[in-house]
């Protein structure tokens, strides 16, 4: 994400500096504490919406994509649209298989 310029972008988002530290901490520890499990910005509208609806992944929400999940996400991460469609249409197992294949090839989202 650093390669993609997130460290600069996050500083311009309210609370982004703290969130960037959180993301770096996850990278260092290898442990992902999702928003659903209490990680991330507690005031994030996407997080609040997901928790209220009881969903763990926006792609599985019946309202996805919605006003909380706009084009910015797809611009920053071009494969996100494809990945979310795979998750919605074929399920978590197919999505996880794709991520494992990417990981085996050394792919990261920063490569986009």
Flag whether 81 is in a domain. Answer: yes
Q: Percent of the chain, pLDDT > 90?
A: 8
Where residue 25 falls among pLDDT bands split at 50, 70, 90?
Answer: low
Flag whether 9 is in a domain. Answer: no
Best CA proximity match to 110, nearest among 11, 4, 20, 29: 4
Flag whether 58 is in a domain. Answer: no
Residue-range definition of the domain harbouring residue 110: 70-112
pLDDT in tens, 31-63: 556 666 666 677 778 888 888 898 888 888 999
| Tokens read off for 67 | 């006003």
Q: What is the pTM of this model?
A: 0.58
Position with higher pLDDT, 39 vs 98 = 98
Phi, psi for 108 (deg, rounded to 5): -135, 160
Q: What mean pLDDT is reported for the chain?
A: 76
Best CA proximity match to 79, nearest among 98, 93, 105, 92: 98
Q: Do the Cβ atoms of 36 and 51 come closer than 8 Å? A: yes
Peptide bond into 65 cis (omega under 30): yes
């Amino acid at each position: 994400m650093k390669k993609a310029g997130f460290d600069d972008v996050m500083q311009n988002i309210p609370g982004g500096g703290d969130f960037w530290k959180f993301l770096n901490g996850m990278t260092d520890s290898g442990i992902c504490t999702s928003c659903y499990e209490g990680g991330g910005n507690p005031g994030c509208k996407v997080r609040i919406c997901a928790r209220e609806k009881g969903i763990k992944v926006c792609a599985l929400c019946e309202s996805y994509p919605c006003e909380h999940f706009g084009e910015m996400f797809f611009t920053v991460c071009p494969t996100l649209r494809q990945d979310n469609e795979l998750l919605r249409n074929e399920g978590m197992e197919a999505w996880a298989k794709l991520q494992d294949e990417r990981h085996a090839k050394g792919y990261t989202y920063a490569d986009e």
